[in-house]
Amino acid sequence: MAETKLDVKRTLKNNTMMFVLVGVMILFEVLIGAKSGWNSHLFAPANITNLIRQNTYVAILATGMLLCILTGGNIDLSIGSVVALVGALAGVFIVTWHLPIWLSIVLCLLIGTLIGAFHGFFIAFIHIPPFITTLAGMLLWRGVATIVLDGKPIAPFPPKYLSLFESFIHGKGNSALDMVTMIVVAVCCLVFIALEVKGRLTKIKKGYDVPSKLAFITKLVILSAVIIVVGLFLALDRGIPVVFILLAVIVAIYSYFTQHTVPGRYLYAIGGNEKAARLSGVNTNNVMFFAYTNMGFISAVAALVTIARLNSAQPTAGQNYEMDAIASCFIGGASAYGGTGTVSGAIVGAIFMGVLNNGMSILGVDMNWQRAVKGLVLLLAVIMDVASKKKKGGKN
């Protein structure tokens, strides 16, 4: 009985940020409703849809940033500038040169990956600190983006391109509830439960320790409820945004990569103890090179999403994107020392940042106060991480 209670407590602790997120959303709902006489709502389906669309780029970037942070608390300061440059080149390819859209997308992804490899080479093989390398990249690529655009935005993008990222999958018809969305949500829940059960049975078969059945069921209920609630909001509006499907695919791929593949576990090993990992046969240089090359690729994906949302390529695009991505990872449970963190946690952190931005904007909070609040939240997340590390060290 005591072991079961401990497992449940551990499960609840592992989902603390989820409960904090729900609590903050309820708080904003009350504050917004009270201020507007209950004419405005944070939980309005249209607002939830916009919340997802407006913050997808943060979640995508946080996924890539997590891999860098896992290697030892390293970060990439250049991603906002890379977003601006790749977006500028996409504008030139698609709008100015009228290249085929698929070719333009491939070129943009390739260029972003090459930029990441450029950073990764100096970090992994020349051993220049990531902070310095990516700081130089932040200045370099922002300048190149401004040169490419000649300081002027390129717009508009063709509808065919916008539909790739700004359209919706829905089949509402005359119904108030989009049944296509609900069917997709039901399938996602079933797939999620099946994968979790399969994973548990595999661990039991191999002799690994697993949480109690009650703790396992608690986890399934919590996460399934989240999926259903989000799906319900989308079903009451315009259906599933295509960009949300893109994000889901990215999250699924990187979650599997970090948790169930050897190269993914190398990232954690380096963050835990780089010297020990190297002595164990891990090629730490290659792992670091991969982490930053991947960050360039992810930045290119975020750039394609951003220009579709703005319907323009701008030299100022991507400003402070790196800060939002870094904050999302730390708020989502990634350790400032590396070696700890999950993709799902980074996504929760990105949603938390989006809710803060959205809620404070609806309330009319001054932009300077918004920055101050986000800074305090980030500082609090890092303080909790440091305190947790010291507590574990004291126990040892």
Residue 319, both tokens: 């400003």
Describe the crossing of helices 321-331 and 367-395 by its angle, rounded to 10 degrees: 40
Listed in sequence order, the residues at least 6 apart from 131 whose beta carbon sits closer than 8 Å to its beta carbon are 74, 75, 77
More confident residue, 331 or 388: 331
pLDDT of residue 392: 59
Q: What is the pLDDT of residues 50-69, one digit of tens each?
A: 888 888 999 999 999 999 99
Listed in sequence order, the residues at least 6 apart from 17 whose beta carbon sits closer than 8 Å to its beta carbon are 331, 332, 333, 345, 348, 349, 352
Q: How far is C-alpha 240 from the geometric centre of its chain's CA atoms? A: 18
380-383, Cβ contacts within 8 angstroms, sequence gap of 24 or more: 381/327, 381/330, 381/331, 382/330, 382/336
Residue 17 pLDDT level (bands cut at 50, 70, 90): confident
Share of the chain above pLDDT 70, in %: 92
- What would the DSSP string read from start to end of 294-352? HHHHHHHHHHHHHHHHHTSB-TTTTTTHHHHHHHHHHHTT--TTSS---HHHHHHHHHH
Q: What is the mean pLDDT of the chain?
A: 87
pLDDT of residue 394: 46
Across 220-226, average pLDDT:
85
- 3-class secondary-structure state, position 241: strand
Quickly count helices (H) and strands (E) in the chain: 16, 2
Tell whether the model's pLDDT for residue 393 goes beyond 80: no
Q: What is the pLDDT of residues 318-368, one digit of tens each?
A: 888 999 999 999 988 888 888 888 998 899 899 988 888 888 888 888 888
Q: What is the pLDDT of residues 149-197, one digit of tens each?
A: 998 999 899 999 999 998 888 755 545 667 888 888 888 889 889 988 8
- Of 17-31, 102-116, 261-275, minimum mean pLDDT range: 17-31
